[in-house]
Structure 1
C-alpha cells in the first residue's frame, strides 16, 4: 500500500527552501498519515529504557 499524496503538498513544496517551515509541513503530513493508519505514532523517547530486554 502506498502513502497518499499529502493534503498539504503545495505548502510542502513552497516551504522547500526553509528548513523550519518544511519541518512544520512535514510534521503535518506525518499526522495525516498517522490519522489514516499508514504509520504508527513515534515512541516516547523521554522515558528510560529497560536495558535488560
Structure 2
C-alpha cells in the first residue's frame, strides 16, 4: 500500500482521490486492464469528458 501511495505522489496525483476512484471501479475492471496504475490514472470525470 505504501508503494502505491508513494507512486501516486511521485506522479503528482492525490493518493486519496486516486485510491478512492480505483477502489470504486475495481469490481467492474477485468484483470487484464492496468489503467488504474498511478502513472496511467485519470479521474472518472476526465474519462467521461474525453468520451463526449
TM-score by length of 1: 0.30
Q: Of Structure 1 and Structure 2, which has the larger fraction of its residues in helix? A: 2
TM-score by length of 2: 0.31
Q: Which has the higher contact order (CA 8 A, sep 6+)?
A: 2
Computing the radius of gyration over CA atoms, which structure comes out larger, 1 or 2? 1
